[in-house]
Amino acid sequence: MMNIERIIKNHVAGAVTALYGQTIDPDQVQVQLTRSEFEGDQTVMIFPLLKISKKSPEATCTEIGDYLVAKVPEISAYNVVKGFLNLLIDNVFWVDRLNEALSDDTYGFVPVTDQSELVMVEYSSPNTNKPLHLGHIRNNLLGFSLAEVMKANGYKVVKTNIVNDRGIHICKSMVAWQKFGNGETPLTYGKKGDHLVGEYYVKFDLLYKREIAELVSRGRSEEQAREEAPCIVETREMLLKWEANDQEVRHLWKMMNGWVYEGFEATYKTLGVDFDKIYYESDTYTIGRDEVLRGVKEGIFQQESDSSVWANLGKEGLDKKILLRSDGTSVYITQDIGTAQLRYRDYPIDHMIYVVGNEQLYHFQVLSLLLDKLGYKWGKDLYHFSYGMVELPNGRMKSREGTVVDADDLVAGMIDVARSVSMELGKLEGYSEEEKEHIYHIVALGALKYFILKVDPKKTMTFNPEESIDFNGNTGPFIQYTYARIQSILRKAKETSISISVKAHTTSLNAKERSLLKIISLFPEVVKEAGKAHSPAVVANYVYDLVKEFNSFYHDHSILNEPDLSIRDFRLAVAQTVGKIIRNGFSLLGIAVPERM
């Protein structure tokens, strides 16, 4: 079904041709929602058409308005405010949209077909030297939600993860474990393996700082001390041994990475995110290194006298970028070249989306250029889904100093907050302890996900756990509670044998009902816009607006106690449809909704 904005644009273009003898593109017609202080549903900006009509704004509005009312059954009336043509849409149109939404469980979603284009979304991208933290949570939630939004827009989607499981940072944890571990394992440690490895990464940094301070006290410069500190020298040697496939180093690497993978998997499961395929830097960096060496042979890249390899991007307005260190070891971008090539071997990708923080903007500019220089036509088509950092009320987090907010600790803390708030409000009285814990988990994850996803991805955000779990306002729990309230209404209707149906001929709508139906009709366009803008926030804030409007309606108008049975049944249909859209909208955000609460 064509949306009302498209109908209006097409018919205004037709009016211009019929009235003034000139053809215009319907997309030139400017249409927006009518402002709340005026009567109407959609407003056409007439000013751009005056040079065609060669008449006053009021006269042009009147002529086009008369044409639309006569020719377009969906438009019942109009009014003119200066150069703005406010159109009133017939109630039947809104009821038809309600029928459409009520009868289709996938309302607003475009079906995936064999001809659908394939989108690959890469997100998470953790390092195996530390557990996932709050920053990773935003990445994972955005990546998973974006994948669901793209599916809802009719794309085939492959969700991938690249695990940075090799390199100098990984060796730092390994060196620290050798020095201080005394054979400690997750079993003897009594905690998850990713937490254990992360603690040794912090211990390495403390040791490194002590050694730098000691060397500086002996007369070394800060720069010399950073290069000569014994622990960093040992770490570089370990990386060289790893790349030479030293069996002892590789055994330690596999063991510690195995601990981390188990920890990651548990966190992913808790967050409700998953992947169709996981790539590992240890498998892809050699492909990238071979590509870089091919680039040297073909004169694309330059090898310096110390054997390091560089790309000169001066012609593109960027600086030189190192691709291989003088000792032959790879850097991040080398691995990304290899991973990109491997992905396009594995899948017939039409669009590639990298979900990575905005501090990596330059990195992905360079990656796109390098792939293009190496002859891969798809290099220029990579899309960097850039998002802002997550900060805490007291500032930024720092991994190597151990000041990050651990993802597992955060989720556990959110569940505690959900438990505390629910008990204080008495919302779960009469529930079993098992039922309560299940709802605490749903509410906590809903609060966390919604608080993060409602923010424009490009913006830096401050995360406040207490604010996120408020049962009032623009929060996940507020929306979840409204959904549960709707399900309670529908259960009571069923218990009293009331059938839910929509009377398509209903024409008597009050202002609140019209407003709700108008918002319901917007859901397909919202899903489309979220995909186009790569922004789950578009969906999140729409669902909040829908819930806010429903609660306003429910406050003013009875549903089950409405004496007019046809109105009662109509309102039940509205409630059921609102519930369905909440559920579908929240599914795009990876958020569960409780049937009872």
Residues 31, 217: Cα–Cα separation, whole Å = 71
- Of the candidates 404, 377, 569, the one whose C-alpha atom is nearest the C-alpha of residue 490 is 569
Given a cut of 90, whether residue 432 has pLDDT beyond it is: no
Q: What percent of the chain has pLDDT over 70?
A: 96
Mean pLDDT of the chain: 91
Q: Render pLDDT for 453-497 as a digit per residue (tens, 0 to 9).
A: 999 999 998 887 777 877 788 999 999 999 999 999 999 999 998
Beta bridge partners, 89, equal: 75
pLDDT score of 532: 96
Q: Are 335 and 284 in contact (CB under 8 A)?
A: yes
Mean per-residue pLDDT, 528-541: 97
pLDDT-derived band at 399 (thresholds 50, 70, 90) equals very low
pLDDT-derived band at 394 (thresholds 50, 70, 90) equals low
Q: Which residues contact 476 (CB under 8 A, 6 or more apart)?
A: 443, 446, 447, 448, 449, 450, 451, 468, 469, 591
Given a cut of 50, whether residue 541 has pLDDT beyond it is: yes
Given a cut of 80, whether residue 54 has pLDDT beyond it is: yes
Write down the domain spans for the chain: 4-89, 123-391, 451-588
Q: Are 78 and 68 in contact (CB under 8 A)?
A: yes
Given a cut of 70, whether residue 587 has pLDDT beyond it is: yes
pLDDT score of 403: 53
pLDDT-derived band at 533 (thresholds 50, 70, 90) equals very high
4-89: CATH architecture: 2-Layer Sandwich (3.30)
Distances (CA, A) of 6 to 2, 35, 46, 236: 6, 19, 16, 62
pLDDT-derived band at 503 (thresholds 50, 70, 90) equals low
Report the CATH number of the 123-391 domain: 3.40.50.620
Given a cut of 60, whether residue 179 has pLDDT beyond it is: yes
pLDDT score of 413: 86
Beta bridge partners, 390, equal: 461
Torsion 332-161-348-380 (CA) sign: negative
Helix then strand then coil, % of the chain, to nearest 5: 60, 10, 30
State which H helix or E strand residue 450 sits in: helix 433-453
Q: Render pLDDT for 243-264 as a digit per residue (tens, 0 to 9).
A: 899 999 999 999 999 999 999 9
Residues 227, 242: Cα–Cα separation, whole Å = 20
Report the CATH number of the 451-588 domain: 1.10.730.10
